[in-house]
Amino acid sequence: MENESTVKVEHYFLILSLVFGLILAISFPPFHFPDEGTYILKAYDVSNGNIIPKSTQLTAPKNLQTIKNNHPINSDGSVDIDMSDQSIMSYPPLPYLANALIIKIGEFFNLSALVTMYVCRIINLLIYTAVTYFAVKKIPILKYALLLIALMPTTLYQAAAVSGDSLTMTLSFLVIALFLNLSLNKNKITKRDVFILSASTLALSLTKPSYALIALLFFIIPRNKFKNITSQIKTFLYTCLAPLSILIIWNSAFKHLYPVLNSGFNSYLQVNTYNITFVSSHPLNFLDLLINTTAYKGAELLSTFVVGFGNSGDNVPLFLIYIYLIVLLLTSVYGVSDLRVNLKQKIIGFIHFLIVSLTLCVAELITWTPLGSDVIWGLQGRYFIPIAPLLLLVFNSSRTTSFKKFYKKFHLCVILFIISFYITITLYSVMKN
């Protein structure tokens, strides 16, 4: 039977990502994307050689700061900006290196900050498209599901922004695809496989801390894929333990630049927040917070997962969101691959989804949630995009059905659906505004 890999799904992704991504990158005004101003300032700090974070204070040129917050301008035209309320200053520089290079090139050619920002958006989109293209190509199952996730309006909206989230998403897709590929193909794991996977997990660990835990997906690989126990242990050390150790060392070294962790006080909101001790000593209260957040913010989380233009997806009717999610689920259940994912692998994938999800919830709890709140503040649907394939893995089926045969012949229906969805939400937004 024909395998999913024989249908060049990655080619469809390449075209649609560039078309819709460029439209999003160019059409939205400066700083429309969440935290875009903060990301630009971080990239500017890196462009000045601050690869290793030194301080939460930075001095930005006038043309960068005037678009953002109208800080008082120094006599030389620069401005001193206090970033102590931004955890981003403690993050590794990897997600900002490309934009830092563009900023330097812009300075050399005396480009305006506006032009530089739009060039940074396009570069981020190109990097996202290139890496995700490889992820869609390598993933042996869930190809159409990954296609739908990678082309969701929220996903491309972030990919086309000056944001570290773009690299985080695409590396997450890539690492998941590589793990599944090594788990399901018939070949033994080679040194080349280990090198590529190690480089990918290391890069992911140097983006945002929570998603580095995806490296633990190592345990989804069957033992018989390794030549011997020594090979398995070495692969674990290179692809999982080493990246996570580097992340722990980095966070330990620069945690003083993340004030909320140390003080339990959010200076931006001027409130005391929950702390990690609360989670460990009151697990039932934390569970109650999770249940309340799901109950009261479930619809919002689904909206911002699929169509989050800005910080909400409220402008798009929920029925459109549900349609997209139903199609996404159907492409997961009724794939066209003969490859089998066993129950153990599905359980491992689901556990990893839960672990990363809980880590994200704890991060928002101790960063943004005031003491006494009944729900977790700051949690958005877009945070779950990088790990969505892990959840969909649970629903994947390898059974041969007549629906599969129909789906194989008319796989373009998925592409037409994506195009129609974009046209629909665009027309709806135009009519509403």
Asked whether residue 276 carries a pLDDT value surpassing 70, the answer given is yes
- Quick one: pLDDT at residue 375? 94
Q: Using an 8 Å Cβ cutoff, are 397 and 334 in contact?
A: yes
Residue 410 scores a pLDDT above 80: no
Q: How many residues does the chain have?
A: 433
DSSP secondary structure letter of residue 2: -
Q: Residue 41: its pLDDT value, please?
A: 87
First to last CA, the chain: 49
pTM of the model: 0.91
**119 vs 252, more confident:** 119
Those residues with Cβ within 8 angstroms of residue 393's Cβ, 6 or more apart along the chain or in another chain: 141, 142, 180, 332, 341, 345, 346, 349, 350
Mean pLDDT of 111-136: 95
Band of pLDDT at residue 414, cut at 50, 70 and 90: confident
Those residues with Cβ within 8 angstroms of residue 333's Cβ, 6 or more apart along the chain or in another chain:
395, 396, 397
Q: How much of the chain, in percent, has pLDDT values that exceed 90? A: 52
Cα–Cα distance for residue pair 218/392, rounded to 1 Å: 18
Partners of 81 in the beta sheet? 58
Question: Stretch 109-131: mean pLDDT, rounded?
Answer: 94
C-alpha span between 403 and 342 (Å, rounded): 21
pLDDT in tens, 162-220: 999 999 999 999 999 999 999 999 889 999 999 999 999 999 999 988 999 999 999 99
In which domain, by residue range, is 273 found? 4-432
Cα–Cα distance measured from residue 16 to residue 148, given in angstroms and rounded to the nearest whole number: 11
Q: Which residue reads 């935290």 in tokens?
A: 35
pLDDT tens readout for residues 65-83: 554 455 555 555 566 777 7
Alpha-carbon span 400 to 71, nearest angstrom: 62
Print burial letters for 230-267: b (CB count within 10 Å at least 16), e (below 16): eebeebbebbbebbbeebeebbeebeebbbbbeebebe
| Higher-pLDDT residue of 53, 159 | 159
Pair of tokens at residue 137? 């190509």
- When pLDDT is cut at 50, 70 and 90, the band that residue 312 belongs to is very low
How many domains does the chain divide into?
Answer: 1
Query: In the prediction, which pLDDT does 78 show?
Result: 63
Tell me the average pLDDT of the chain: 85
SS3 category, 142: coil
Q: CA-CA distance, 381 to 360, in Å (whole number)?
A: 11
Cα–Cα distances in Å, from 308 out to 35, 152, 301, 326, 331? 14, 9, 9, 18, 22
152 secondary structure, DSSP code = S
Sort 30 into a burial class: Cβ within 10 Å, 0-12 / 13-18 / 19+. middle
Q: CA 83 to CA 38: how far, in whole Å? A: 9
Per-residue pLDDT, 209? 87
- The model's confidence at residue 311, banded by pLDDT at 50, 70 and 90, is very low
265 and 272 in contact (C-beta within 8 Å)?
yes
Phi-psi category of 270—alpha, beta or left, where left has phi over 0 and alpha has psi -120 to 50?
A: left
CA distances from 119 to 9, 25, 47, 126 (A): 28, 9, 15, 11
Does the pLDDT value for residue 86 go beyond 90? no
- 5 — pLDDT class (breaks 50, 70, 90): very low
Instruction: Mention every residue, 6+ apart, whose C-beta is less than 8 A from residue 390.
Output: 176, 214, 217, 349, 350, 352, 353, 356
| CA angle centred on 129, ends 126 and 121, rounded to 5° | 35
**Closest to 286 (Cα-Cα) out of 385, 209, 359:** 359
Residue 64 confidence (pLDDT): 61
- Residue 387, H or E segment: none
Q: Which amino acid is at 272?
A: N
Residue 353 has pLDDT above 70, yes or no: yes
Average pLDDT (317-344) is 84
Note whether 120 and 43 are within 8 A (CB).
yes
Tokens 């000593």 correspond to: 281
Residue 1: the pLDDT is: 38
> Would you place residue 140 in the very low, low, confident or very high pLDDT band (cuts 50, 70, 90)?
very high
For residues 59 and 183, which has the higher predicted lDDT (pLDDT)? 183
pLDDT at 294 over 80: yes
